[in-house]
Amino acid sequence: MTTKKTALITGAGRNIGRAIALGLAEDGFNVVVNGSSDRAAAEAVAADAREKGVGALVAMGDVGSPEDCQRIAREAIAAFGAVDVLVNNAALRPQHRFLELTPAEFRRVMAVDLEGAIWLSQACIPGMLERGWGRIVNFTGMNAIHGYAGRAPVSVAKHGLWGLTKSLGKEFGPKGITVNAISPGPIEADDDQPGVQTHRHGYVAKVPVGRMGKPAEVATVVRMLVSPGGAYVNGQMLAVNGGAET
């Protein structure tokens, strides 16, 4: 067992999640790399993290499953003794015409985008309380600010995640656990979901800095929030969007 702090990052096999995992490894955190299907990508991130001199564990699982959330947390705690930092990054962002939306499609988005953060937080907070220190970072996004046509389930889930952030920040802030949210704007990504890249590039015209963001720029904000300098930030949603109107 190591005395280093440990960070669990969901959806960490690529894009923003990967940048967060490697950024926190650079800062000396052991990292638990979660992915839902692409084990090879998760293993590659873990290998890159180990090269930075920290421990790394791959914990595959579906955060839309409460049972998987419990198992992921157990594996992390068994490997490193604690989860000090939880980053709820994994999400689905499907396009659905509202009048064609099915109950199963709605429930699936809610399970991954909102409920996964609930069950993982519930699994990790007890250990944070024991140590009197913890950091939880949730990812909301522009869906939680504007809402978008064809994205009703995502917007509902992300609004809920913003509510969860504020509630947990008030409940556990007095115990040394801060809970914050990050709302990224359009970010460069290797994303094969239909329509996602088109949606991101279409939004660039509304970004004053005139470009898409980089995953590392989002990871930098996470690194600040979990650093000693971020200890007085709690219950907030930080927009990392190049100045897009919020």
Per residue in 61-101, pLDDT tens? 999 999 999 999 999 999 999 999 999 999 998 888 999 99
Split at pLDDT 50, 70, 90, the class of 151 is confident
pLDDT tens digits, 226-235: 999 999 999 9
Q: Look at residue 206 in the predicted model and tell me its pLDDT.
A: 81
Query: Mean pLDDT over all residues of the chain?
Result: 92
**Stated pTM of the model:** 0.93
d(Cα 43, Cα 18) in Å, to the nearest integer? 11
Average pLDDT over residues 193-213: 73
For residue 205, pLDDT over 60 is answered with yes
Predicted local distance difference test score (pLDDT) of residue 124: 98
Task: Find out whether 227 and 30 touch, Cβ atoms under 8 Å.
Answer: no
Report pLDDT digits (tens) over 157-199. Answer: 999 999 999 999 999 999 999 999 999 998 998 765 555 555 5
pLDDT in tens, 14-30: 999 999 999 999 999 99
94's torsion region: left (phi>0), alpha (psi -120 to 50) or beta? beta
CATH 3.40.50.720 fits 6-240, yes or no: yes
CB 31 within 8 A of CB 54: yes
Range from 53-62, 121-130, 138-147, 155-164 carrying the lowest mean pLDDT: 138-147
Residue 1 pLDDT grade (very low, low, confident, very high; cuts 50, 70, 90)? very low
Count other C-beta atoms under 10 Å from residue 162's C-beta: 18
pLDDT exceeds cutoff 90 at 144: no
Average pLDDT over residues 234-246: 89
Q: What is the pLDDT of residue 236?
A: 97
Q: What is the pLDDT of residue 146?
A: 74
